[in-house]
Structure 1
Amino acid sequence: MTIDEVLQLTRARSQKDLHPVQEIILRQVWEGKTYASIASASHYGEHYLRNIASGLWQSLSEILQIPINKSNFRSSLESRLLTVEERELIQEFLRSQCLATPLEFPGSPVPLDSPFYINHPLIEELAYREITKPGSVLRIKAPRKMGKSSLLLRILDRANSLGYRTVSLDFQQAEEAILDNLNKFLRWFCANISRNLDLPPMLDDYWDEDMGSKVSCTIYLQQYVLAEINSPLVLALNEVNRIFEYPKIAREFLPLLRSWHEEAKRIETLKKLRLIVLHSTEIYIPLKLNESPFNVGLPLQLPYFTEEQILALAQRHGLDWTDSPDGDRLMAMVGGHPYLVRLALYYLCQSSVTLDMLLQEAPTMVGIYKDYLRSFWVTLQEYPELAFALKQVVKSERGVELDPIIASKLVSMGLIHIDNNRCTLSCELYRLYFGSQNFI
């Protein structure tokens, strides 16, 4: 069995999900890690992990009906194959989860109770622990449709379970007239936080033109908002890349976020603030290193799906690809991109297309990815320097070296990977699609 099969069987036998900490322990022990190294990587105490593991080995021994401990965990199970009955049990458990939740069209954040969410236990637990730290900043960066909003839902849910107040602001909702003026923007920012917390906006009571809008915003947040609530506030700023398009605002607002993080070390009220910053593109405005919020706090990057995760997600859609090459074929086309994988499984589950047909049409303007690919096409038409650079990558079999800023932009779009300064395409889908476009 693989570790994913062990986890699937454990869930099916117990008829419940593992706690994220339990999954972290199992995956890391399977890789031969010590409790000390697991504690260091996950930021949990070693004693705490040992206590959790002790009960876990006992439960697994009962569930799997053989003696299990840390030293024999992998050796006892890796050589063992799942029986036909166990495969059927796993399928039935996954089927029951799917029946309880209607099939979701990908594109929106995955609901909290959805069986179609793929956990990233180490990433999630790091995020959960970070928001408990006074004045913390959590930075989540990934290309679009990689699952940032789905992860944010779970972080905010954990914050609510801890009794924290939560506010999520989407900068895409700010009008252009607001983003053209710092004073208007900061008043919009404060007013939205107040309303989300059911506090009456008292902007005029705290705003002072002589002190300036940045100081007024800080005083409003510190002396009014944080003073009025009796618990920590987790403030999530979604699509921060929106303000990168307005350099004057970005040069003032982003250093302001950093100043709150720094001031929280000495100001008691600001210790109640925990920031989550989500963005999908690099920052290309001239900020001094000591002014940027993008080099403080805990950075998290969302990974692509592994082959094992694709197989697990296929099972949750009622598709058994365990002994089939179909998972490899999909992986070869889309490279494990979460949205592209989920969209394929959605259509396959609807029986509206076969995998052969889906893969054949994938890079064309009649395939299921046509809208997703068209959005890249539009962006590249607006920025010829990116299109020219991508053309070089498409034509290269071994990868090419690009200007660092151009390469970073293509990485942030999710189009390329960089390995030892050589740029290669993220997946075959992009090679086939962009290779057929006249504009490059």
Structure 2
Amino acid sequence: MNVDEALIVVEQEFLSRELSPIERLVFRASWIGQTYTDIALDSAYGLDYIKEIGSKLWNDLSDALGQRVTKKNLHLVLKQYGQNSTAKSNSRMGQVSPREQIARQDSLSSFPQAEIEFPGRPVPLDSSLYINRPPIEELACYEIHKPGCVLRIKAPRKMGKSSLLNRIMAHATTEGYKTVVLDFQEADTAVFTSINKFLRWFCANVSRQLQLTPKLNDYWDEDLGSKMSCKIYFEGYLLKSINSALVLALNEVNRIFEYPEIAQDFLPMLRAWHEQAVQVETWRKLRLVVVHSTEVYLPLKLTQSPFNIGLPLKVPEFSLEQVQQLAMRYELTWAEGEAGMRRLVPLVEMVGGHPYLLSMAFYQLSGKEMTLEELLQKAQEPTGIYSAHLRSLSVMLQEEPELAAAFKRVISSEGSVFVGEVAIYKLESMGLIHLDGDRAKPSCQLYRVYFRNNLKNPNLIDFRLEELEQENVQLQRLSNLDELTQLANRRYFNQYLKTLWQQVEEIPPLSLILCDVDYFKFYNDAYGHLAGDECLQQIANAIRVCVTHPANVVARYGGEEFAVILPQTDAHTAVNVAEEIRAIVKALEIAHDNPDVDGLPDRFVTVSLGVASIKPGSKSSPEMLIAAADEALYQSKRQGRDRVTLHTENT
């Protein structure tokens, strides 16, 4: 009998009720032999509270069974019950054993198998490919019922944070709560130029998602400051305008880490709001869900940080049983049963329980493009199915030579090794290591083998333009991609632009185009996020058609922003390219006729573009080029949008 079977027996046979999320947590942890101290540390609940829950649960079971049940004799009691009461159990459960009932429930709760999408995006709510990882889903849904709570979800990239968040917010909606999700990756770069601009953007977005008219100017007071104005706006307007709790999810908070001056003001403000809930009734309506990847280390004072309050949920890797569940949902029938589980062991040894890496493998195997044996043989090769993921990690390491050197020590050791507290924190946050006390070892064999072969000299990076052009030709396979548009992502854009600055003698001049989709927020509101995604994909393809030289890079710069890097291209030519992009996007005739919004200048989606050109050198920088293009883009918007503006000194 496993823990899921035991839970069914306890809930349906013994207690005739569902256990609460906290009771399930205590039961599951007790079943695998954890102490109350272990449970308290893992769940962030107090030890006395965990003991109280456990004591009540064992008392309830003792009363139901007529014999003493304790944490220590739990296995024995259930084993004896299974031996002595099989007939009675089968009769009360309709002649279905616990194992059979779990299988039946899994079948009933699964959804019709639609065409399987390429992994990388959050798993849809109605998808059978989402694997529950008890007890985090139960704990999260339980926690948001608490007034003024803070729920913190953290994990490295592609571990399933967004998929979990979507389910938490769906649960909140069914409970009648108002929900708002802000993804900081969707914010324009200009939003982060000051705390005042950032907080006004923050308040305006929350207002619109609550379908409330933004009234920033009625509450904003320069003498009080932007943080106090933001607080007054929430307390005096937003929270008082709704009749239910508000679950506010802040996704990709790590984007703020890139702007320390913003982070040092905004993050302590969140903590202060949480503390207000103890004293002020209005703030009890607010429940915060903070979601972040932890690749960036940002030191904050303990009394100011929102990362040491509330309930922390660290999204775990899949267990072998969960890996088997996922394989079966990809219709890989060879993974069924004990023999199938044994076949999966080498894959788990190669990639661990990483959801994205496993989904990539099962996606390829479900398409019968290769066998499991072939996949395992080629997994760590530079052209294998994991090339884009491995390369993105490689770029992160190359950006921090000291971190790369620390990781090289980890993969060079057959055992575990200590490489310093900060390096351990960052490497674990990236998902590259597992900890054995204060010592590190590679989290999976894939990383050990790949980086042993490709991280031979972490301090040496070859920046020759010829090699960069070859890399761009193979961008689909070898570089960082934005999953939605299949363009280069922001990280690759930054890295490539910095690299070009090394080639002062070879590539003058250098031009940059920044492109923004006009009124895209209104388009999303009118047609929905799926239509918005499709719109962005069409525009990405249109830009790709206009930019064909191997050394040029087209990137998704932000939510609805795109960027084009044009080495060896003067301003006149860059403007012509931008005009071609503007015209071809308009020719797509993507309908944008929103009757709820007055004053839209065109019936179709259009774009505004800013162009800047510069000669790299010691007196210039990538940041100067970006700022110039951004200023030109701002002028295009201010002058009516659907136009191209070239940056000049007088712009």
What TM-score bracket applies, with the shorter chain setting the length?
A: 0.7 to 0.9
Maintained 8 Å contact 2:227/2:269: yes
Tell me the CA shift for residue 266 of structure 1: 0.8
Tell me the CA shift for residue 328 of structure 1: 0.6
Q: 2:239 aligns with which of 201, 205, 226?
A: 226
CA distance in 2, matches of 1:279, 1:24: 24
Q: 1:415 aligns with which of 432, 437, 460?
A: 432
CA distance in 2, matches of 1:180, 1:43: 49
Q: 2:420 aligns with which of 384, 400, 403?
A: 403
- Letter of the aligned partner of 1:391 in structure 2? K
CA distance in 2, matches of 1:408, 1:180: 29
- Letter of the aligned partner of 2:397 in structure 1? L
Maintained 8 Å contact 2:118/2:363: yes
Maintained 8 Å contact 2:155/2:294: yes
For 1:354, the equivalent position in structure 2 comes to 371
Over the matched positions of the two proteins, sequence identity in percent amounts to 51
Task: Check if 1:106 corresponds to 2:122.
Answer: no
CA distance in 2, matches of 1:353, 1:8: 39
For 1:245, the equivalent position in structure 2 comes to 258
Distance 1:283 1:258, change over 3 A: farther
Tell me the CA shift for residue 159 of structure 1: 1.0
Tell me the CA shift for residue 27 of structure 1: 4.3
Task: Check if 1:184 corresponds to 2:184.
Answer: no
Distance 1:53 1:133, change over 3 A: farther
For 2:606, the equivalent position in structure 1 comes to none
CA distance in 2, matches of 1:99, 1:166: 26
Distance 1:3 1:259, change over 3 A: closer
User: What do residues 396-435 of structure 1 show as CA deviations (whole Å, max 9, x unaligned)?
Assistant: 1112111211211111111112212111111000011101
Q: 1:312 aligns with which of 301, 307, 325?
A: 325
Higher alpha-carbon Rg: 2
CA distance in 1, matches of 2:391, 2:122: 21
SS in 1 for 2:338: coil
For 1:66, the equivalent position in structure 2 comes to none
Pairing of 1:291-330 with structure 2 (within 5 A): 291-318=304-331, 319=333, 320=336, 322-324=338-340, 325-330=342-347
Maintained 8 Å contact 1:186/1:217: yes
For 2:298, the equivalent position in structure 1 comes to 285
SS in 1 for 2:373: helix
User: What do residues 212-233 of structure 1 show as CA deviations (whole Å, max 9, x unaligned)?
Assistant: 1000000011111101000010
Task: Check if 1:161 corresponds to 2:177.
Answer: no
Maintained 8 Å contact 2:184/2:253: yes
Q: Which has the higher contact order (CA 8 A, sep 6+)?
A: 1
Distance 1:8 1:117, change over 3 A: farther
CA distance in 2, matches of 1:333, 1:148: 22
CA distance in 1, matches of 2:299, 2:99: 56
Residues matched between the structures, number: 415
Tell me the CA shift for residue 32 of structure 1: 7.2
Distance 1:163 1:173, change over 3 A: same
Maintained 8 Å contact 1:236/1:276: yes
Choose 392-401 or 316-325, whichever is displaced more: 316-325
CA distance in 2, matches of 1:168, 1:271: 19
For 1:173, the equivalent position in structure 2 comes to 186
Distance 1:154 1:92, change over 3 A: closer
User: What do residues 69-125 of structure 1 show as CA deviations (whole Å, max 9, x unaligned)?
Assistant: 9864345669x9xxxx99999889867876703234321112222222221232222
- Letter of the aligned partner of 1:353 in structure 2? M
Q: Which runs of 5+ in 2 are unaligned?
A: 10-17, 41-47, 66-73, 87-96, 459-651
CA distance in 2, matches of 1:351, 1:49: 49
Maintained 8 Å contact 1:314/1:321: no
Tell me the CA shift for residue 311 of structure 1: 1.6
Choose 398-407 or 91-100, whichever is displaced more: 91-100
Q: 2:134 aligns with which of 121, 124, 127?
A: 121
Maintained 8 Å contact 1:20/1:121: no
For 1:257, the equivalent position in structure 2 comes to 270
SS in 1 for 2:328: helix
- Letter of the aligned partner of 1:413 in structure 2? M
User: What do residues 172-223 of structure 1 show as CA deviations (whole Å, max 9, x unaligned)?
Assistant: 1112111121110000000010011111111111111111100000001111
Tell me the CA shift for residue 253 of structure 1: 0.4
Q: 1:340 aligns with which of 353, 357, 366?
A: 357
Maintained 8 Å contact 1:95/1:316: no
SS in 2 for 1:121: coil
Task: Check if 1:376 corresponds to 2:388.
Answer: no
For 2:220, the equivalent position in structure 1 comes to 207
Distance 1:187 1:317, change over 3 A: same
Choose 282-291 or 131-140, whichever is displaced more: 282-291
CA distance in 1, matches of 2:408, 2:271: 38
CA distance in 2, matches of 1:96, 1:273: 35
- Letter of the aligned partner of 2:406 in structure 1? A
SS in 1 for 2:158: coil
Distance 1:108 1:5, change over 3 A: farther
Query: Normalization by structure 1: what TM-score?
Result: 0.84
Distance 1:97 1:124, change over 3 A: closer
Distance 1:172 1:129, change over 3 A: same
- Letter of the aligned partner of 2:326 in structure 1? L
For 2:532, the equivalent position in structure 1 comes to none
- Letter of the aligned partner of 1:323 in structure 2? A
Task: Check if 1:194 corresponds to 2:207.
Answer: yes
- Letter of the aligned partner of 1:367 in structure 2? G
Tell me the CA shift for residue 43 of structure 1: 9.2
User: What do residues 381-402 of structure 1 show as CA deviations (whole Å, max 9, x unaligned)?
Assistant: 2111111111111101112111
Distance 1:71 1:268, change over 3 A: same
Q: 1:266 aligns with which of 269, 273, 279?
A: 279
Distance 1:321 1:329, change over 3 A: farther
CA distance in 2, matches of 1:416, 1:272: 39
Query: Normalization by structure 2: what TM-score?
Result: 0.58
User: What do residues 244-264 of structure 1 show as CA deviations (whole Å, max 9, x unaligned)?
Assistant: 110000000001001101111
Q: Which runs of 5+ in 1 are unaligned?
A: 10-17, 58-68
SS in 2 for 1:323: helix
CA distance in 2, matches of 1:27, 1:188: 43
SS in 1 for 2:182: strand
- Letter of the aligned partner of 1:73 in structure 2? L
Task: Check if 1:428 corresponds to 2:441.
Answer: no
SS in 2 for 1:214: helix
SS in 1 for 2:244: coil
Distance 1:268 1:203, change over 3 A: same
